[in-house]
Amino acid sequence: MPTIRIVTANGDLAVPTMILVGELDDWSLAKKCRDMIAHRSGEGSPVSLEIFQGARHAFDAPEFKTAVEAYGHRVEYNPAAAEKSFSDVRAFLKQAFGG
């Protein structure tokens, strides 16, 4: 079976990509996402980055309505960020793939 590379070392992606991350996410850092976007060569598929202010890791997971520590990281549901992310993903998919 062939290997499919979706992202290269320079941040170029093979498919349209939307990155959603919480500003306060201490597991998947928004800064690293910003840095990756800043260092892209401009080749490859379009990439969009949305950083949700005040949101942590698992902002779209209602089972974390009460914040918890998991493996040394804080996870917490954020209903406003979740709702916006769902709406934004639908719009992204429609734009990227039609429908």
Can you tell me the mean pLDDT for 61-85?
Answer: 97
Does residue 1 register a pLDDT over 90?
no
Q: Comparing C-alpha atoms, which of 54, 59, 67 is closest to residue 85?
A: 59
Number of domains in the chain: 1
User: Mean per-residue pLDDT for 70-91?
Assistant: 97
In a domain, residue 74? The reply is: yes
Sorting pLDDT into bands at 50, 70 and 90, what band is 9?
A: low
In a domain, 56, yes or no: yes
In a domain, 4, yes or no: no
Q: What is the pLDDT of residues 45-67, one digit of tens each?
A: 989 999 999 999 999 999 999 99
- Provide the domain limits for residue 43: 17-97
Residue 9 is assigned to a structural domain of this protein: no
Q: Could you tell me if residue 11 is inside a domain?
A: no
Please provide the DSSP assignment of 30-68 as one string. Answer: HHHHHHHHHT--S-SS-EEEEEETT--BTTT-GGGSS-E
In a domain, 6, yes or no: no
Distances (CA, A) of 53 to 17, 32, 44, 66, 80: 20, 16, 28, 18, 10
